[in-house]
Structure 1
Amino acid sequence: MLEDTFGRRFHYLRLSITDVCNFRCSYCLPDGYQCDSDRDFLSLSEIKTIAQAFAELGTSKIRLTGGEPSLRKDLPDIIATCAQTPGIDNVVITTNGYRFPDVIDEWQDAGIGGINVSIDSLDPNVFNAITGADKLKAILAGVEKAASLGIPVKINSVLMKGVNEQSLKQFQAWLKDTSVTLRFIELMETGLSHQFFKQHHVPGEPLKQQLLQEGWTRIVRGKSAGPAQEFQHPDYAGRIGLIMPYSKDFCDSCNRLRISATGKLHLCLFAEQGLSLREEIASGDQLALQHKISTMLNDKEVSHWLQDGFTGATKNLAMLGG
């Protein structure tokens, strides 16, 4: 089992398979994707090596991220490769949903266990203004289809002051009859978003207190669950999650590591640098790869230090999939 010097165990790998994204979200890539780095992305065989190595080290869940992972034509093969790895119990994906609902059947056949979709507003005009893509109708149709197929669906929504914070009531009304988990994510500061963060950050704690006052109750997290605090309500078909990276002790429950699309281990989303594993991955030497991962884990820090304005090497969230 992977364990750091603070006793945190890591059951969960976030594996980026591309840093390319075709949306222009205002909080991430307002100017669109800029090809300013190495695009020698991990091959299918390298992804298989990574999945096997982490599984043998106790990882049970893999999340495929980007950029936008569906931009890779071999995505179904990647899903199947990870899902068929002994020890991996759940393979999930985070997507902007632009190809919904055409690809969901293919993903299900490959073994996908859950889908997270980014929807920052249920108002088509606001959604288009945030993402630069007039795709809300198609994405919602995809969400409905995925849910009808029995695939667990979570919606990610970044709340921003003066942009979409008024969407809460609309989202709650939607959850009355829609069986999805809606996760409100606190806007996080990145290397290229200092001013945007100052203007639009909405803290999550007041929202949490509001939910508790309205009768929502906390759900216990599983060992491989993400960082969201989830809540349920007897009058709602859906659930609400809160991801609050600026809350006290947020990093105490960290259970995930990250691999970039070019084979670098990131001990934290906001680490100062990625640590290259590409040589060991390319060689297929499982023992060497596992040894290097375990050794590097000793350098994982106790906190992301976001509360101190530290953003590390993360210029934007598309670099590692958030």
Structure 2
Amino acid sequence: MLIDAFSRRFTYLRLSITESCNFRCSYCLPNGTDCESRSGELNLVEIRRLVTAFARLGTKKVRITGGEPSLRKDLTEIIAICKSVPGIEKVAITTNGYRLARDAQAWFDAGLDAVNVSIDSLDADTFHLVTGQDKLADILAGVAKARAVGIKQVKINTVLLRQHNALALPDFLDFIKSQDISLRFIELMRTNDNTQYYKNQHLSGESIQQKLLATGWQLKAKSSTDGPALEYYHGDYQGRIGLIMPYSKDFCADCNRLRVSSQAGLYLCLFTEQQQDLRQLLQNDDALPLMQFLQQAVLGKEATHYLHQDFSGGTRHLAQIGG
């Protein structure tokens, strides 16, 4: 098993397959991607070996991230590889939705269980302003297609932004009232290149949490492979609301996830100062050396991310490792 010094067990791998992204989100890549070359990205054989080692250590869920993972032409094959590894029960993807309408069926056929789509506003003009892409209608069509083809879980990720969606809760509630979708509000996190933007735009999720509790929403119990969201449900709504509040007390206490970058770097935390190179351990099918390395590495995981102390580690921006 993968268990750290604080008795946290890691059953969830977030696997980035590229740093490239075709959106220019104001909180992440306002000037476009800074990924100059895609050389060195994990190949299919390395991905299979990596996921196999994690699975043998108790990992049950793999989330494929980026950058924008659909920019990899072999994404469908990657999904199929992850789902075929013994022990992996759930394969998910986080995407900007750019190719969701086109590829949802292929991804589902390959074994995709869940998709998270980044939609920071349901207003087309605001969406364009935040992302640099006038594609809201296309992405909402992709969400509908994902549900129609049978993908089990469809979620929407919305980064809370003081000047863009702080007052939009009623719109989002209307959106999920008759749709079986989980909408998750994510607090903006400070990274090494967005300090001033963070100061201008950060909005605590506590205000939304209090509004939900005051109007009859109830907290849903988590499963062992769920991410960090606190998810709320209401009898009058088919959908659910999740809150990811990394600055809240004890946010890291039940951490269950590790991250590997597209360049084969192990990140014990999204905001770690250093990564650990796994490339050499992925050059043959013997999983044992990698398993032993991972078991030793997790013992060095810190108790918390220290975001509340204005520490953002070596993370340049969220596209670097997929959030």
TM-score (structure 1 length as normaliser): 0.98
In 2, Cα distance between equivalents of 1:170 and 1:294: 45
Pairing 1:192–2:187 present: no
Distance in 2, Cα, partners of 1:215 & 1:113: 30
Q: Is the 8 A contact 1:68 1:95 kept in 2?
A: yes
Q: Aligned residue for 2:89?
A: 89
Q: Is the 8 A contact 1:191 1:315 kept in 2?
A: yes
- Return the alpha-carbon distance in structure 2 between the equivalents of residues 284 and 70 of structure 1: 27
User: Which residue in 2 is equivalent to 1:24?
Assistant: 24
Q: How does 1:183-222 map to 2 (within 5 A)?
A: 183-222=184-223
Instruction: Indicate yes or no: 2:285 matched with 1:284.
Output: yes
Which 10-residue stretch deviates more, 37-46 or 75-84?
37-46
Q: What runs of 5+ residues in structure 1 fail to find an aligned partner?
A: none
Report the CA distance between 1:38 and its aligned residue.
Answer: 6.9
Query: What is the SS of the residue equivalent to 1:207?
Result: helix
Q: State how far apart, in whole Å, the 2-side matches of 1:290 and 1:23 are.
A: 36
How is 1:152-171 mapped onto 2 (pairs within 5 angstroms)? Answer: 152-171=153-172
Q: What's the TM-score, normalizing by structure 2? A: 0.98
* Runs of at least 4 residues off by over 4 Å: none
Give the aligned CA root-mean-square deviation in angstroms: 1.0
Q: What does residue 236 of structure 1 align with? A: 237
Matches within 5 A, 1:142-157: 142-151=142-151, 152-157=153-158
C-alpha separation between the residues in 1 aligned to 2:39 and 2:66?
12
Q: Read off the aligned partner of 2:123 and give its amino acid letter.
A: D
Partner in structure 2 of residue 10 of structure 1: 10
- Equivalent residue of 2:142, what SS? helix
Q: Deviations over 1:211-266 (max 9, x none)?
A: 00011000000000000000001111110000000000000010000000010100
The one-character-per-residue Cα deviations of 1:182-231 (angstroms, maximum 9, x if unpaired) are 00000000000111001110011121111000110000000000000000
Give the secondary structure class of the aligned counterpart of 1:103: helix
Structure-2 change in CA distance of 1:107 and 1:38 (3 Å): closer
Q: 1:224 to 1:85 in 2, by over 3 A?
A: same
CA apart distance, 1:283: 3.0
CA contact (8 A) 2:100 2:146 kept: no
Asked whether the 8 Å contact 1:156–1:182 carries over to 2, the reply is yes
Indicate conservation of the 8 Å contact 2:94/2:117, yes or no: yes
Shift of 1:100: 2.3
**Which amino acid letter does the alignment assign opposite residue 46 of structure 1?**
E
User: How far, CA to CA, are the matches of 1:200 and 1:36 in structure 2?
Assistant: 28
AA in 1 matched with 2:202: H
SS at match of 1:283: coil
Which whole-Å CA distance do the structure 2 matches of 1:66 and 1:86 have between them?
24
**Alpha-carbon contact 2:93-2:114 (below 8 Å) kept:** yes
Task: State the 1:97 CA deviation.
Answer: 0.4
SS of 1:102 mapped into structure 2: helix
Segments of structure 2 that go 5 or more residues without pairing to the other structure are none
Residue 18 of structure 1, CA deviation: 0.4
- Please show how residues 1-322 of structure 1 align to structure 2 within 5 Å: 1-36=1-36, 39-151=39-151, 152-322=153-323
| Superposed displacement of residue 66, structure 1 | 0.2
Query: Which secondary structure state, in structure 1, belongs to the residue aligned with residue 305 of structure 2?
Result: coil
What amino acid is aligned across from residue 75 of structure 2 in structure 1? L
Taking the aligned partners of 1:314 and 1:100, their CA distance within structure 2 comes to: 27
> In structure 2, the residue corresponding to 1:253 is in which secondary structure?
coil
Deviates more, 1:220-229 or 1:168-177: 168-177
SS at match of 2:271: coil
Which secondary structure state, in structure 2, belongs to the residue aligned with residue 108 of structure 1? helix
Residues 189, 311 of structure 1: 8 Å contact kept? yes
Cα offset for 1:304? Answer: 0.3
Contact map agreement 1:49 1:284 (CA 8 A) in 2: yes
- Code of the aligned partner of 2:321: L
- Is this contact kept in 2: 1:38–1:262, CA < 8 A? no
Q: In 1, Cα distance between the equivalents of 2:55 and 2:80?
A: 15
Distance 2:38 2:260 in 1: 15
Distance 1:181 1:117 in 2: 10
User: Per-residue deviation at 1:36?
Assistant: 4.9
Q: Give the distance between the partners of 1:315 and 1:288, measured in 2 at CA.
A: 30
**Total equivalences in the alignment:** 322
Identity within the alignment, %: 53
Q: Equivalent residue of 2:127, what SS?
A: helix
